Amino acid sequence: MNEADGDEIAGSAPCLDGLFSPAVLTASAPIDDHVASLLPAEREGLAQASPSRQREYATGRWLAHALLRDQGEHDLAIPRNADRTPRWPTGWVGSITHSGSACAVAVSRADARLGIGIDLEPDRAVKPGLERMICFGDELAWIAEEGESGLGHRCRLVFSAKEAVYKAFHPRTRRVWRFAEVALEIDLDRESFEARLPADAGPAAVTGRILRRGGWIVSGVEWRREDAFDGEPRDG
């Protein structure tokens, strides 16, 4: 959900420690002017975008390049596909997210993970009424647990977790899931969630992490190879 950040988080970037297993590498930074660092294949169509869009796009690539460089992978471009998904270099999967003033990226070797999803949100309530588009079934009861004042806040958590789930799976499934098709159960004490997935996902469910740190919400999902298509999620 792209919107301006409030003063409390402007200029900061979220801490991503504990969001993923060690198989996943992460980086975050405030959005800045990294357009000059883009590789030629990453510039296609960018000139038409607004300056702020160019900066958020370039910050994602700049962070991803640094992560890949640390693994000995130099000058690998991450262009955009026609459907806006990032095209990760052969042998890698990953995910990019930005929210107003900050950007976060997660990457993994493709022989370790089938997909990665990351989402970043300001830790504040969504606009009233949005819960009817995002939350369904038991999620509606869960967001209402803290009364009217907590409802929009909890809805933001559900939204963030669903976006991370969708971003982990969509590059392989290629299907647009509706919010009602993914059923979430969030455990705030454990900073984790379980998502039941649509039938075409492969696994029946996936677990994820959801952290609230320094005014940010960050959600992360790893689609593990061992959970690929067996219809039953496994631990670990």
Ligand X SMILES: CC(C)(COP(=O)(O)OP(=O)(O)OC[C@H]1O[C@@H](n2cnc3c(N)ncnc32)[C@H](O)[C@@H]1OP(=O)(O)O)[C@@H](O)C(=O)NCCC(=O)NCCS
Residues that bind ligand X (CB under 6 A): 1-2, 56-57, 60, 84-86, 96-98, 119, 162-163, 165-167, 170-171, 176-177, 179, 182
Element (H, E) at 205: strand 205-213
Task: Please state the closest distance from residue 148 (CB atom) to ligand X, in A.
Answer: 25
- Nearer to ligand X by C-beta: 156 or 162? 162
CA distances from 192 to 183, 189, 230 (A): 14, 8, 22
- Nearer to ligand X by C-beta: 63 or 151? 63
- Nearer to ligand X by C-beta: 162 or 224? 162
- Nearer to ligand X by C-beta: 57 or 216? 57
Calpha distance 209→60 (Å, rounded): 21
Task: Please state the closest distance from residue 177 (CB atom) to ligand X, in A.
Answer: 4
Task: Please state the closest distance from residue 158 (CB atom) to ligand X, in A.
Answer: 10
**Nearest-CA neighbor of 1 among 131, 93, 114?**
131
Backbone angles phi, psi at 75, to 5 degrees: 55, 35
Task: Please state the closest distance from residue 187 (CB atom) to ligand X, in A.
Answer: 19
Task: Please state the closest distance from residue 147 (CB atom) to ligand X, in A.
Answer: 26
Residue 7 burial class via C-beta count within 10 angstroms: exposed 0-12, middle 13-18, buried 19 and up: exposed
Calpha distance 195→207 (Å, rounded): 6
- Nearer to ligand X by C-beta: 89 or 236? 89
